Amino acid sequence: MSHNVIDDPSPAPAAPKGGHGAKAMSLDSDSTPSAAAVTGHVASARRKKSDPHATRWGKFLQAAIKLNASDLIMKSDQQPKLRLRGALKPLDTEPVSTEEFWAIAEAILDKEQQEDLHKFGSVDFAYDYDDHARFRVNLFQARGKLSVAARLITSNIRKFEELYLPPIMSEVALQPNGIVLLCGVTGSGKSTTIAAMLDYVNERKPVHIVTIEDPIEYIFNDKKATINQREIGIDCLDFKIALRALVRENPDIVLVGEMRDNETFEAALHAAETGHLVYGTIHASSTTQCFSRIYGLFEQEEVEQVRKILAYQMRSFVYQKLLPTLHPNIARIPALEILINNGVVRKYVLEAREGELREYLKSVEARQVGMIDFNMSLVQLVEQEYIHLRVAEESSPNVDEFRMMLKKLG
């Protein structure tokens, strides 16, 4: 069975910078994942290599790995699709029938995960293809049929320059303590950027890094640093328990997946106050919106205290969005907004004037220390011919302002 990608983009170099493009290739191989395992929130189970349904599932994952796809997307009675360079491309293979999809689910899920799927309509788990590649998987029902979204997670962590991140990110990564937040919507590359930052530290500082993730996004190999990665549901029951244990684990740097509730953020603030560097992600549409999202996690009477702690413990908020490029060898490129704490930023936060920081980001003073607002990042990407003008305008939070800035530089 030949698993070629239909209408695959033109060939790209073996290691394109930031790209997902690759040659279509035959994946008709008898090789199956070595010691592959399914790991769920509360259990893990070795899959049966002899199970033909699990084997076919393994073939789809193998295609994603070989073609350097970011995701595998499957829907009952359709051909599986791979996300290459941000676009979905179908695999040249037979559609997966509804009956076969349920058989695959039974083959790769343990009993408790199957019960969760039937009870809640979806189940999240991580699937280890081999020692170097794993997938973050969401298996869910839609109109009574199964679908799946599987994100490829590897130990291939890219450098800042490969991700087209500015040099200031190295300074952000090497902060001695405090809080560094990456914000953006799902699929904006937050995890990839944080992985690059952590690995930058890993290569330079003999520190202890502890990550608390749900699930693990990238697999780190120890370099100068010692890294312990804890997965919710596998290594610890929940974020609350994992965060409570942090003090006894003696970390220097902590990664706390997504800041979802006040308990998680309160623990992060406490860790920062006690001398740790804390990385995290939060859903927000700008660096300044981060503040309101954080304050929204707390009761009104707690906000002022949180504001004071944040004014002194915040190191940097980085918002990013991935945009399609004009280059055949670059899949998507990040447009960034970077807010770095200094005396001015601290004063604005303490005075509850966070909304005015958007104007400060445009100032010469802010730019001199590496800050940038989102519209300026878009202007630079257009000027450097990385993205199309139309893409920039569609992504701009203020199109008129963007056009004025572009006109000034032109």
pLDDT of residue 275: 95
Sheet bearing 226-231, strands edge to edge: 226-231, 208-213, 253-258, 277-282, 178-183, 314-324, 332-340
Residues in the chain: 410
Residues 74-114: pLDDT tens digits? 999 999 999 987 789 999 999 999 999 999 999 999 999 99
pLDDT of residue 32: 33
Q: At what angle do helices 300-313 and 262-273 cross, to 10 degrees?
A: 40
d(CA 228, CA 245): 13
Nearest to 98 by CA among 142, 135, 156, 54: 142
Beta strand pairing call for 277-282 and 253-258: parallel
CATH topology of domain 4-154: Beta-Lactamase (3.30.450)
pLDDT of residue 50: 58
Decide which of 3.60.21.10, 3.40.50.300, 3.90.1150.10, 3.40.50.720 is the CATH code for 168-372. Answer: 3.40.50.300
Nearest to 225 by CA among 205, 211, 210, 254: 205
- The dihedral region occupied by 370, where left means phi > 0, alpha psi between -120 and 50, and beta the remainder, is left
pLDDT of residue 268: 92
d(CA 12, CA 15): 8
Residues of the chain with pLDDT under 50: 1-49
Domain-by-domain residue ranges, the chain?
A: 4-154, 168-372
d(CA 264, CA 190): 18
> CB-based contacts of 148: which residues, under 8 Å, 6+ apart?
72, 73, 74, 137, 138, 139, 140
What b/e string do you get for 160-198 counting C-beta neighbours within 10 Å, with b at 16 or more? beebbbbebbeebbebebbbbbbbbeeebbbbbbbbbbb
Whether the CB-CB separation of 165 and 336 falls below 8 Å is answered with yes
pLDDT of residue 41: 36
CA distances from 267 to 172, 173, 240, 346 (A): 21, 20, 8, 21
Q: Biggest alpha carbon distance in the chain?
A: 65
What b/e string do you get for 86-105 counting C-beta neighbours within 10 Å, with b at 16 or more? beebbbbbeebeeebbbbbb
- pTM over 0.85, yes/no: no
